[in-house]
Structure 1
Amino acid sequence: MSQQEVILLLGSNLGDPEKNLDLALEKLKSGNIEILKISELLISPPVEFVSSNIFCNIATIILTDLSPIQLLNFIKGIEVDMGRVDDSRAFGGYRDRIIDIDIIKYNELNFISERLEIPHKKHLFEREFSKILLKNLSRKT
């Protein structure tokens, strides 16, 4: 498969969130993924759940030869490796997490399966922090 341009959103609100984001980026690189751009760090309150732990968030543009499902499996593996014990779907709602990595866009692909929807409409159109990060990413050279 040829190289695909993908936008990911990463967030953390447990432990040392900035360090968690850096580690997640390093783990992405270990999967033969090239990181093209990284947004500025954005601090934001939790969305769709209550917690006293604030989030550190970044967006990144990557190049990968993984298919959408292969990429999803890879990033879920990173989350587990970093100590995330449950997914919001399995838990039935959002809660604090050491790392969260979401696929926002995969080139111009429209894809829907039981586990994955691309583009990620909540991040593109509903969540203010996501819109800020994506705008920041598009301005960054």
Structure 2
Amino acid sequence: MSQHKVVLLLGSNIGDKKNNIDTALCRLKEAGEILKNSEYLTSEPVEFVSSNNFCNIATIIFTHLSPIQLLNYIKKIEIEMGRVNDSKISGGYTDRIIDIDIIKYNELKFTSKRLEIPHKKHLFEREFSRILLKDFI
């Protein structure tokens, strides 16, 4: 099985935010090996209004999963941790216990209804993402 280098961003703005991220990182170990984590970063919500700031982190993993298999696994983690709204389905952002985004998957360029790799908003539009990803991309 080949290993794929994947960059992920994780965020939480409900409950014990850092613990939520740490729990998701532990669950991600089941999908592959975590190589590197960024520092935690606090940021304001983007593209929606909330009084709850986010705790964010970037991570690099090696995984044998395909992009869609990884996305399915990530969605399973989000749901099992209590996330109720998926922005792709609802069409807008809301507070969330955990959010995990695939930013890069090797050097793959991939677009479907459910997934875009690389994740252009995080790479080019969001300041907090650029800060977290500066040593990862």
Q: TM-score scaled by structure 1?
A: 0.94
Q: 1:15 corresponds to which letter in structure 2? A: G
Report the secondary structure of 2:134's partner residue. helix
Please report the RMSD computed on the Cα atoms of aligned residues, expressed in angstroms: 1.0
- Give 5+ residue unaligned stretches, structure 1: none
- Paired residues of 1:84 and 1:97 also in contact (CA < 8 A): yes
Size of the aligned set, in residue pairs, is: 137
Q: Report the alpha carbon displacement of residue 30 of structure 1 after superposing the two structures with TM.
A: 2.2
Aligned to 1:115: 114
- Give 5+ residue unaligned stretches, structure 2: none
Determine the C-alpha separation between the residues in 2 that align with 1:90 and 1:115. Answer: 9
Task: Determine whether 1:95 maps to 2:63.
Answer: no
Q: TM-score scaled by structure 2?
A: 0.97
Deviation sequence 1:16-48 (CA, Å, 0-9, x none): 0000000000011123x1000000000000000
Q: 2:59 corresponds to which letter in structure 1? A: T
- Paired residues of 2:7 and 2:136 also in contact (CA < 8 A): no
Counterparts of 1:62-81 in structure 2 under 5 Å? 62-81=61-80
Report the identity percentage.
Answer: 73
Q: Report the alpha carbon displacement of residue 88 of structure 1 after superposing the two structures with TM.
A: 0.7
Q: 1:25 corresponds to which letter in structure 2? A: L
Q: 1:64 corresponds to which letter in structure 2? A: T
